[in-house]
Chains A and B, each alone.
Chain A
Amino acid sequence: DQQVKQNSPSLSVQEGRISILNCDYTNSMFDYFLWYKKYPAEGPTFLISISSIKDKNEDGRFTVFLNKSAKHLSLHIVPSQPGDSAVYFCAATDTGTASKLTFGTGTRLQVTL
C-alpha cells in the first residue's frame, strides 16, 4: 500500500520557468512533510518541510504548499535552474510516533536551457 504517491515519474521544464512537483498521501496521521532532492550516487538531501498546522512554507526559490483536506502537497521551484535537475522525493511522517519517513517514488526533474 503506497501511502505517499508521486504520480509523475518525470518532468521537464525550461530554465527560468516554474517547476511544480506534486505529491498525494493517504495516511491521515501524517503531520509533517518533507521534500528531498537526490543526485545520482548521492544520498537524499533535505530541501524544505512543512508542518500540518501550516498551508505554505517558503525558502528562497522553493515553496511547499499543503492542502490537508485533499491530502495533497506540492513543491514549487521558481525560477528553475539547470542545477535543480535531480530526482525529488516527497516524504511524510507521523511525529507522534517514530518520525520514520515514508517516501514517494520520486519525480525526475530535468531543467533544460
Chain B
Amino acid sequence: DTGVSQDPRHKITKRGQNVTFRCDPISEHNRLYWYRQTLGQGPEFLTYFQNEAQLEKSRLLSDRFSAERPKGSFSTLEIQRTEQGDSAMYLCASSYTGTGLRDEQFFGPGTRLTVL
C-alpha cells in the first residue's frame, strides 16, 4: 500500500501525559499537512511542511504542540501535557507540488486521541 499511513490509529491517555503521533506520507510527496477534526466539524488546518521546513502554523497550534519532519520524510506531532480538549482525530495529508500541478492532498486514516 503506497498511501499515507499514520500510527497509532487510536491512543487513549490520561490528562497531563505527553503523546506522539507519526505520519508517513506518500514517498514522492514534498508537502505534508496536519489537520485536527472534532465531532461534527470538518478537518481544521494545524501546520504544514514543505520538505523539512515547517512553513506555517495555525493559531490552533498552542505551544504544547510541536511538529517535526526530519529529512523531509515522515513527520511526528507531539502534544505535551494533554488536556481533555485535545481529544480529536488527528489527520495527516501529503501532496506533491510542481509546476502546473494542482496540490491535491491525500489523507491518511487518522489517529484518534482520547484524553481521559
Please give the residue numbers on chain A whose beta carbons come within 8 Å of chain B beta carbons, in ascending order. 4, 32, 34, 36, 41-46, 49, 51, 89, 91, 93, 95, 98-106
Contact = CB atoms under 8 A, between A and B. Distances in A.
Interface size class, chain B: 20 to 34
B41 A34 contact: no
Interface centre among B31, B91, B102, by most A CB within 10 Å?
A: B102
A99 B28 CA distance: 18
B104 A49 contact: yes
Contacts of A91: 42
Interface string B78-92: 000000000000010
20 contacts: A4-B42, A34-B104, A41-B109, A43-B91, A43-B107, A43-B108, A43-B110, A49-B104, A93-B103, A95-B102, A95-B103, A98-B48, A99-B97, A99-B103, A100-B56, A101-B43, A103-B43, A103-B44, A105-B41, A106-B42
Interface string B54-93: 0110000000000000000000000000000000000101
A3 to B, nearest CB: 11
A89 B42 contact: yes
